[in-house]
Structure 1
């Protein structure tokens, strides 16, 4: 071999080894991120499915992945949902790992709040450590799934007072609301979408598991018929605000108002022109509840009072409404009468009519003569009946006496014959 060739081969071999070593180091540096390397690994979330108001643990491993032990290490939770509570400090500082291959285990004890919302909850974390003259920062996230249950408040009963509803009645409606779901129902409210005048909304509050409460409503059944009434129940459960709709049926029977005109008295009975007339109307409460602020208005065309105030009437009680006026024109009048009263839902009215006759002033003598004639006829009939009754009584008496004394009767007959001869 040429003596100059051997040194040349040795030189080429050294260059090849040097080039190969440099490439390996570069690849290692790229894989480890440098001589100092540290990673955080989520080891365990227990339990994996977290319920509302439930404890759980999060385990984090800090693992060195470089050729030198890391220093000035800080691991911190930088963002946590408001419905997750962490027991430990959110920031953990470690001065130095003992060996390049060391690990450090971090365990966080956490708990979801009683009002936690179901669904994904992201916890954000940050790892910082020194890397020679520079500082390396890495970010991590963990997804905590909070599971929840559905609440199910439904109508369990429907009660009305009175049980049988008539037109014009004031009705107390009671709905039993029960939670048939697997979660607490919060902020429960109930609305009845009826067309009557009255209360349509009721607030219950919170319904626990299998809990029940009543929703109270009041309305005036001002028309008869069968009514399909939507009932809307709003509430909040583990999944947020919810709203369910149901239907109830209310039947209102046909019935007139409980206030009515019981009797009418006119004084004088048949007034004449220029007479002062006193019209007395008795108003009766035939219902089963007290009625207040009763007023009666008679829309007559004469000069005088048109309104009378009665006040309060208890059930089956009546009261007088007195209207006084001067009948200044003859004729037959049909006077509209309006009875106004106040109940729980405001002012109500009942309308009716009263008829009176006003005579002419110069017809008084004829009226008196007619009355006297009628009285005379009645007197004659009474006298005639009296005389007829007396005559019949005498005949009956004579017959009875004759049947009791036949001898005397025969003697009287013979005497009568002799007298005739």
Structure 2
């Protein structure tokens, strides 16, 4: 059986940590280079996931450690002003946590002077792509005004369920060359299924170049929130060096995962009264009171009777039930205790529920003796009636 992995978090992506233009000022129609340094955003070398291993009949869960490398599929320089002579990168490969690499683009400047902003486009497998403008000076005396640049990092828990409380940590880092002032972080809850439990507007007086500020936000999800990815809009505004207020719109994606929760809705015996030596059916209706499907549902009995003690139920949706049918022969009399064990899977892995039950078995089925006694009584009554009819 191939292992199946559950609970993996979002794939890492990359950021541009620096660039270099050579020469610093390029003449019109002159050839120059643009070097860009990119790094993996992951802060640790591995992450933990849960996998299901073993046979279909007896699966179990175990933790494994997998790397969090960022695989770069392509990197290109998008521009309508420069001619890119070389630097079309395809399938660059993986960058591990804490690692970086440098990409070099050979370009020819346009024939006119000015300040231009070619964009570096980086595509990362399974994650958000990166677009970053690079300022290039083509024989102009204009100097770049130092500006703040705020990068938003998100830390999101991986076990958000309907009706739960959870915290989202936002990390704001000023990667620009100037301080950002009067920073406002505003949360816009998209609907009533997701409500903010903390102030929706956070204020930061100043964030100097290179500084990092952490903001923790608390939320509660409604019991009826749909399963899947939900986006929380975040608006960041701040003042730059010349007093202009800049607005930066971000999104915080959270994954709402449902859980299966199984129990017994009803226990049915057929026949209702069981005697020693009888064959009978035990039907346990298993209900799902959770918020997501319960898959691969399997029920087993540890009752000391002969017969079928295992039933495969399959998938049970939320607010639904399904029967687990067992055919048994009563080999012991009395009040017999036993356990029903239910095993199933959902988005959080494998689960097991053990439910105590009991069944009463009579000493002996006396229906045959009763019939014989009734026949004897009827025969005796008939004989007495016949004798009386013959008497004068």
TM-score (ref. length: structure 1): 0.35
Q: Which has the higher strand share?
A: 2
TM-score (ref. length: structure 2): 0.37
Q: RCO higher in 1 or 2 (8 Å CA, sep ≥ 6)? A: 2
